Structure 1
């Protein structure tokens, strides 16, 4: 639900009647993950998606019914091979959906927090005894919470603790707790949706390739910073879509950002400066930070020369193994836009554990959720230089 929080928050603020269907579990080759949502207002307007189109019509009808009777219901949708027109997922997977009206409680507060970019988690009961479906807690980063799941206080404390663990990791998923708050008794399944600030992409080097990469980064949901030591290039005119433009030596900015707690395990660093006097001190810092991705632009000759300079500066082989260079997947890219696409594709493959090979004719999963290899991650065999001496 929090994936469409901004629009839902606006609807609730306008006093609209709203019902929301949220994916709470998936199996097989389901197109959307837990937390994906479809919302319908009293006028029949719909936003969001739970299946990419396979079962939207049936879920829409369930939302309309929830608006009418005020009930929260759970429904499972799966593949039907007996009737081509039956409601089902043609991809062969299954999804479990919770459908509930938004009428008071902590859900509006959770939507407001997510819309404002605050860190918070919404924990809802999605499986358990009758009468408990949809009960919710809003959990803050410090462990405090609002709302109640009903029953003994230990139930709320256990749920808040479980939700905070997922929130600390910035993850959305399901957890189980005992009905009485312990691991004993009838289990309750909670869907915990985490709302965290957008991950950061820092692009070093205010070059033409950077302008295209800023657009790709924004499209992928990153908060994008452009950093360059040259004020004539690092301007708002050149990078109107960047969230932040910094004029500073790259390594100094990165050291300051790290010291201020402005980086985390989701941060991606893209080094496009293509100049040893910037690249070497910057990468010496970057490769020792616990960030998700470090990539650097350059030809293979530039890459080898840069690696030697980094070794001379004391960077270890294990640290060098984290560097994605030449940056990007082998798409045959030439233009700044094509190159930015190849970089964005590598970042997604690294994040999701994808191989980077074509899906056609392959026997790999379409959807990946495995963690990347800390020594460089999946996709190394597919990674190539962008074309030419950049």
Structure 2
């Protein structure tokens, strides 16, 4: 039977954060050296015609509600810079570029909204004397934000078919801008790609998967450097995330609906071949690869939640050893009411049923991210019905990137 789960399992929702973009500020800061008559006089003189050497920061010290569209500029007048650090406790450090003579540093990382940044700059005047400047400023708060929900969670150990998946709660109009700030690295390295889709609830979602299943023991890092990115239509966020996870044992399962068996292997070695009963006519089990989303020891399965009524209706209040494969309601579970049919007759409403003993054994073997591949059935599972990513050929998958 298929049962809709109210919410995807093992998913982490990050707090709402805002995103922004960057351009230039023209505000003067306190100088480290003697004061000229005015900051504009100092800027015009540049320390070249008898004026004092100094470091000038723009935006200036204690500036408030600085537009996130502006850039931070640090200039050594009458000298050069040796180090510049601009940081905020939440968004982190800004990157920047230097002029050829190292007299000017300009931020290249967009500012995040509603953040307080501190600037620490050091250098030296043309006569060799040291220059220092410290300043701080606060950016204006964003009026519209979006939230990213990502999976897997930090520190997780997952199966070889687990993609990196991020679902957004607001429409992403500038998908390329967002995708540019998402990065997945792996050790050992893999060939992989992002691909956009609509989640089952219509939300924008982007998944990253390697060309082939991950290798066991691979260490994976997701970096979300979204602070300052404008997702389009004035929707911003400040997400800065580093999410590390590890790939566990290669536990793979293959269900043959004609043979009515499920063969389970671990790291290439077959563990057991179980007798199963899959979907009957008009309720066939999805063909293709599904990925374990989670598991619960007992669940209520009511056919009304998946649109099955009348003579085929059912309401099972305590179905045991349930491994969820799709949000649309596909599970592998114990089905003692079909005893005598396992290995002989397909009699379910789309789920993979087996004896209670076999179901408990299977439940203990699999974890989040393990693949379950169904062969010789009909209607391949959709890419957004859970993690149907593996049912898309590699060339088509890559075309789903906004950067192609």
TM-score computed with the length of structure 2 as normaliser: 0.21
- Higher strand content, 1 or 2: 2
Bigger relative contact order, structure 1 or 2 (CA pairs below 8 A, ≥6 apart): 2
TM-score computed with the length of structure 1 as normaliser: 0.21
The structure with more radius of gyration: 2
